[in-house]
Structure 1
Amino acid sequence: MYHNRPHVEDIRNMKKNGEKISMLFVTTPEEAAAANAAGIHMLSIESRFFDAEMREAAGNCFVQVGLPYGAQDNSDANALATAEDYLRAAFHYTRLGGDCFYCAASYDIQKTLCDNHVPVVGHAGLIPSYITWTGWRAVGKTADEALALWKHVQKMETLGVFAVELEVVPDRIGKYLSENSSMIMLGMGAGKYADAQYLFTEDVCGYGKNHKPRHGKVYRNFAPEYQRLQDERIAAFKEFKSDVRNGTYPATEHTVAIEDRELDAFINAMNGS
């Protein structure tokens, strides 16, 4: 399966060689297939979206499967609370073709994954699952915060984490972390010096409905076309409802006919004739 897609060692060599890595967050097979056709290096796919169809669509892209912090639902693969839960989920998605696994859980959980040779991607800076402690803001703009950020990165490196989502940190702090850690810094709003540049497809294609982040860049604006299609969908549904109410649907061409003699025979049989 996809013997041409890169491995962790290939991604590490890209950093060593100074090659910038492109990375997108995708949620549909169509987005994954487009990323593969465009030659995007890495994809981030949440576990709830990742299945055999998504792996097929992702082609030769290196896929990071997101293991969400805390329980997501009651299935074995997604109800994540303990190190064993995370490990079971990682093995499950490895069988489906996941190449590495995002994990923003505690150090002991990350260590369990690393000890079992699972490629782990940690998180530093603005961490959405911990947002109550920081608020929605850049992290690392003071010397004390930057030092805490560095210590967090160092700790993950000692555990065996191979890459880190580095989100919304000052560009020169991103530069320092990228240059002084062997881990791959997957920058999202971390400046041009990060090892990778990571964006959400909804921002790249302009159809995101949430707040557009400072680091987001719209390369195509799909929003008007998506709205046009939604308006046409609503109009079609209204016409269907009207046809049902007026009796104009289904018409003759939408129904199966029965010959008169067969209908008569059926009625006679039902009447005991």
Structure 2
Amino acid sequence: MYHNRPHAHDIRKMKQRGEKISMLYVSTPDEAAAAAAAGIHMLSIEGKVFDAEMREAAGDCFVQVGLPYGGWGQFNGRPLATAEDYLRAAFHYAALGGDCFYCAASYDIQKVLCDNHIAVVGHIGLTPSYITWTGWRAVGKTADEAAALWRHARKMEEIGVFAAELEVVPDRIGQYLSENSSLITLGMGSGKYADAQYLFTEDVCGYGVNHKPRHGKIYRDMSGLLDKLQQERIAAFTAYKADVDAGSYPAAEHTVAIKDDEFDAFLANVQG
């Protein structure tokens, strides 16, 4: 399978050819398998749920593995803090089949990963892992702030970063960054000129429980189906418990029988 799915080189070629790239955030094997069946190009999967089963479910999709940032998550029981921590995590997930690795840490940590030939994905714009500096808002609506985003993109490009999530940035700024940088821009609410369009499965399928972002679009509203599924699950579990409480489960049809003569021989054997 490894040789059938695209690599960073292929994604760069897609950008050069001006091809549209689709990307989804998935968190279960079922979601990953559905994305692969639909022909989605790229998947974003958090490291905490990325394993061999997820890689298999993702099929030929190019997979970005999210490396947990600081206290936001852990690898091997400890938060990622040093460049060595990030490098160990990246190598671990690469061995499982990760194709690139989201890292919102400092430039020096990103550079260590790049220097070790890891395809690194940075972040431009609204960045949840250090949202305290901007608040939950679009980033880059002033000339000075947009220029800072450009300098950030250039710095990441300089140290060898492969791509960057481009989150809630004005569309014309997103276009300028995409057209004037070798970074693969993974646009989330940043206009149609980003190299890839990136959405969360929960927004596409309508079952998100968090705030629905401006850029979110529901293509199938599955919230009612999932609610009904949960109620049916609860009903099944309740009926099962009632059967156990009443002693009506297991019944004869759920039980392995033994012939009387064999049972009598067993008793004779064990009781001497």
Specify the TM-score bucket, using the shorter chain as the normaliser. over 0.9
- Paired with 1:74 and 1:153, the residues of 2 have a C-alpha distance of 27
- Paired with 1:264 and 1:161, the residues of 2 have a C-alpha distance of 74
Structure 1 position 193, deviation (Å): 1.1
Aligned to 1:112: 112
- With over 3 angstroms needed to count, the CA separation of the structure-2 counterparts of 1:52 and 1:266, relative to structure 1, is closer
Bigger drift between 183-192 and 203-212 goes to 203-212
Task: Summarize the alignment of residues 1-273 of structure 1 with structure 2, pairs less than 5 Å apart.
Answer: 1-71=1-71, 72-73=73-74, 75=76, 79-263=79-263
The CA deviation string for residues 32-74 of structure 1, in whole angstroms up to 9 with x for no partner, is 2222222211111111121122222222211111111015336
Contact 2:75 2:89 (8 Å CA) reproduced: no
Bigger drift between 58-67 and 2-11 goes to 2-11
The CA deviation string for residues 216-235 of structure 1, in whole angstroms up to 9 with x for no partner, is 11111111111111111100
The CA deviation string for residues 142-191 of structure 1, in whole angstroms up to 9 with x for no partner, is 22211221111111111111111000111111111111211111100001
TM-score (norm: length of structure 1): 0.93
Q: Which runs of 4+ in 1 moved over 6 A?
A: 268-272
Flag structure 1 segments of 5+ consecutive residues without an equivalent: none
- Paired with 1:219 and 1:86, the residues of 2 have a C-alpha distance of 36
Amino acid at match of 2:76: S
- Paired with 1:166 and 1:263, the residues of 2 have a C-alpha distance of 71
- Paired with 2:51 and 2:194, the residues of 1 have a C-alpha distance of 29
Quick one: percent identity of the two aligned structures? 76
- Name the SS of the counterpart of 2:149 in structure 1: helix
Contact 2:125 2:138 (8 Å CA) reproduced: yes
Contact 2:140 2:169 (8 Å CA) reproduced: yes
Structure 1 position 2, deviation (Å): 2.9
Contact 1:2 1:59 (8 Å CA) reproduced: no
- CA RMSD after TM alignment: 1.9
- With over 3 angstroms needed to count, the CA separation of the structure-2 counterparts of 1:244 and 1:145, relative to structure 1, is same
Structure 1 position 270, deviation (Å): 6.9
Q: What is the total number of aligned residue pairs between the two structures? A: 271
- With over 3 angstroms needed to count, the CA separation of the structure-2 counterparts of 1:74 and 1:95, relative to structure 1, is closer
- Paired with 1:128 and 1:56, the residues of 2 have a C-alpha distance of 29
Flag structure 2 segments of 5+ consecutive residues without an equivalent: none
- Paired with 1:39 and 1:265, the residues of 2 have a C-alpha distance of 62
Structure 1 position 199, deviation (Å): 0.5
Structure 1 position 259, deviation (Å): 4.0
- Paired with 1:185 and 1:213, the residues of 2 have a C-alpha distance of 19
Amino acid at match of 2:107: Y
- Paired with 1:269 and 1:22, the residues of 2 have a C-alpha distance of 68
- Paired with 2:267 and 2:2, the residues of 1 have a C-alpha distance of 61
TM-score (norm: length of structure 2): 0.93
Bigger drift between 109-118 and 246-255 goes to 246-255
- Name the SS of the counterpart of 1:256 in structure 2: coil
Amino acid at match of 1:8: A
- Name the SS of the counterpart of 1:228 in structure 2: helix
Amino acid at match of 2:145: E
- Paired with 2:124 and 2:184, the residues of 1 have a C-alpha distance of 12
Amino acid at match of 1:48: K
- Paired with 1:63 and 1:271, the residues of 2 have a C-alpha distance of 62
